[in-house]
Amino acid sequence: ERIVEQYGEIRYTIGTGCSGGSITQQHVANAYPGIYQGMIVQCSYPDVWTTATQFADYNLLSQYFGNQLPSDPQGFQDVVTRLLSSGVIPAAQWSAFYGHLPLNPLVSDLAFFPAAYPDQQSCPGLEDGVTVYDAQDAPDGLRCGLLDYMKSQFGLRSPEVWSANEHLLSRGFGGIPLDNVGVQYGLRALQSGVITGDQFLKVNREIGGFNVDIDYQPERTVADSQALYNAYRTGAINTAEHLANVPIIDLRGPDPGIAHDAYHSWQMRARLEKTQGHADNQVIWYGPAPLFG
């Protein structure tokens, strides 16, 4: 608006940016057709909540495996030999479940996952005297997690899935738009013989999920159906219906992960192909710089 008022009508808007910059471009271009006439996305994700699903899986796996880097990467083969029959997952095999080096989930956890919790760590800069949510001591306090920010879009949880605190307050918290029901962690690793059947079964029996407070529970996370519906209906999930007329150059480099998997470039391609029958307006271009291309 400022540019238009000060300099005149804009002929073209071309976006560029990495990570969150790619989310902004692809998400806004689909939700508001006509804003962008072209995009150069790097370290790309389709949208925020698709990314959140990946980070939730990383966090669950990190917690399960102890959230630490392998201590002896050189001697891992001896460890694997000793532990294969026990069903315990040695650190050297974590990558088989993550699909990348263990650095991947550590980066995502440190950088992003704390914002998911509805407690003090997600509520910086509040005025004195504001009580922040605590499941035990302040169930009626201010909830500051990502789900709570999105409740005007995703809606509130329905009474049949309320937690004890929601029953206590007679109101639902912000709905959960993602889950891990049916996810088979480590399936490709099992198929390739990197892990054993016992290890595969152990992780998938015990991985659990999150409740509405983003606390761990033995059951898998189950999406709230209304929140899931609204995530698609409001465009929080970018399904690419309105991107056919926007040329996209997706720049990628060698893929060490660092929570920005190259998979997401192909994820967007699959969505384009599903909605418009082709991905002729998208080019995935690999360069030498990690992540950035």
Mean pLDDT of the chain: 87
DSSP 8-state code for residue 71: S
Could you tell me the residue range of the domain that residue 103 belongs to? 51-232
**Same domain (yes/no): 150, 218:** yes
**Same domain (yes/no): 81, 193:** yes
- Convert the pLDDT of each residue in 76-88 to its tens digit: 344 344 434 444 5
pTM: 0.83
User: Is 293 inside any structural domain?
Assistant: no
Query: If you average pLDDT over residues 230-248, what whole number do you get?
Result: 94
Query: If you average pLDDT over residues 174-195, what whole number do you get?
Result: 93
Residue 93: which pLDDT band, with cuts at 50, 70 and 90? confident
User: Is 21 inside any structural domain?
Assistant: yes
Give the span between the Cα atoms of 31 and 261, in whole angstroms. Answer: 24
User: Is 291 inside any structural domain?
Assistant: no
User: Is 178 inside any structural domain?
Assistant: yes
CATH of residue 14's domain is 3.40.50.1820
Would you say residue 213 has pLDDT above 60? yes
**Same domain (yes/no): 144, 128:** yes
**Same domain (yes/no): 108, 16:** no
Query: If you average pLDDT over residues 238-262, what whole number do you get?
Result: 88
User: Is 164 inside any structural domain?
Assistant: yes
**Same domain (yes/no): 124, 225:** yes
Judge whether 284 and 250 are in contact, CB under 8 Å. yes
Would you say residue 212 has pLDDT above 70? yes
Would you say residue 90 has pLDDT above 80? no
Largest Cα–Cα distance of the chain, in whole Å? 71
In terms of pLDDT, which residue wins out, 57 or 255? 57
